[in-house]
Amino acid sequence: MVLSISIPIHTTSSTPRPHVIYVVEVVKPDGGKITVKHRYSEFCSLKELLKDGYPFPSKDSLSATIVPGSWVDDKRIEERKLGLAAYLDNLCRDEKYADHPVFLGFLGLWASTMVPEKYRDGDELVKPIAGSYYPSWSKDVVPPNKVDFSKFDVIFYAFACPTQDGGLKWEEDGEATLKELVKNARESGHPTKIVLSVGGWSGSTFFSEIMASPMHRNKLLHELVNFVDFQGLDGIDVDWEYPNAPGSGHPHSPADAANLLIFMKALRNALGPAKIISAAVPHEPWLGSDGAPMKDVAEFASLMTYVNIMNYDVFTSSSQPGPNAPLGDLCGSSNQPKANAHAALTQWTKAGFPASKLILGLPLYGYVSRSSAKKLSGSGSPGLGHPHRRFVSPPAYFAPLGDVSRIWGQQIPFSQLLAYGILTRRSDGTYGATNGYTYDWDNCSDTPFVYNPSRTTVVTYDDTYSIASKTQYARKAGMAGCFTWSMDQDDGYALHDVMLHNLGR
């Protein structure tokens, strides 16, 4: 597929912080040439995805955070260029990897004969999907009649909560908001699919008990199927947080995963082959009867349309803050090496769930830490695993702009970073720090953060740059697409639009 690969030159970029960009020149069998540009972290992503045994230049051959002296250290950069070029050359000469879709995607070879099978439907390319969760409380920020449905392939409406006997209950006027959302989606003329999400962080209390009882399990099944039919929905998303794990202090059992499979079989049989069946999941497969992540989830994959990987809440607020949603453990320094986008893809696919059915979650929120740190740590406070919950706005805000001491230790929506005067939107659509905050970048996780020592505050979050890098990763890896949590936390559609653009939309 490729005649030769070289890295003849490199360049530099100052955004989102100074880094080296390697220009890869690919010579195709027909003599044609193409060039692609990649950061070192993207080479690391390729290496982690392929799991090959070829030599790779050490992460330490250049400092993880480029300092001014590194810019003129041409010898060290040349050494890395040679090492990366040799690595790519080994791949293109190995039959196992030369035609691998991830490798071809890395090289920019996305012609119709070179893309992963999941991107093909007959002779037509199937675009990666763009989704988002729309919690019932989103109506206060984005009313159903104001949603731009052209931007969404799937909207997961959250939540209906199972009752102890297998019935459903709704938060506030959640059922009425869903009806309005469906009505506006159908009237929009866009083919947006509306999927009902069941459970959530605080709504998973009775899942284990329901799934263990054939009577209650069947009742929940009929409730969901009847609701899908009555409301004209496109499917069901099971947001059980989590099987055989306590989540928010929920009862759980070693039989949870086996019972969930029974339920999924019945749900697929009742809904038929066309409806979406998905589940919001952690970085590793569900826990089996032995309390360890399941090694084989292929039977689940045969029944389900997607699993939605919740790649967030990895590190929460801490005096040593870490990344909320790391792309990878790019420096090998995290005390949670299995909790990042790279690891999640590997862990789920190794267990038998194809990449083409995995959707990568992107958070539209961050964390506010009481801290004097000026860099992120991979050894801070681990997240508590409560991603799908409601952000509760603090009382009326009268403090000076930039003062978020009132919400130390809490989540903060991206839109609130602007309202609190921590970020400002630039004319080019990117975001910079303001009111005494310094913008910085963690190369070990591909995460932006801002800090203000005088306010003893650090805020970790995702912005246009990190959303772009994670979306690009998902696309190159052949994943089904990306989704955001949650629609109401964006600055309009600013971050969602970045996701769309990098999905090729």
Quote the pTM value: 0.85
Confidence category of residue 45, pLDDT binned at 50, 70, 90: confident
Confidence category of residue 383, pLDDT binned at 50, 70, 90: low
Q: Which long-range contacts does 64-70 make (Cβ < 8 Å, 24+ apart)?
A: 64/330, 64/331, 64/443, 64/444, 65/17, 65/375, 65/443, 66/17, 66/18, 66/19, 66/20
Residues 6+ apart with CB under 8 A from 302: none
Domain boundaries, the chain: 4-119, 129-368+461-503
pLDDT tens digits along 102-156: 788 788 774 333 333 343 443 334 589 999 999 999 999 999 999 999 999 999 9
129-368+461-503, what's its fold?
Answer: TIM Barrel (3.20.20)
- pLDDT of 452 > 70? The answer is yes
Region 187-203: what's the mean pLDDT?
96
CATH of domain 4-119: 3.30.1520.10
Helix (H, G, I), strand (E, B) or coil at 107: coil
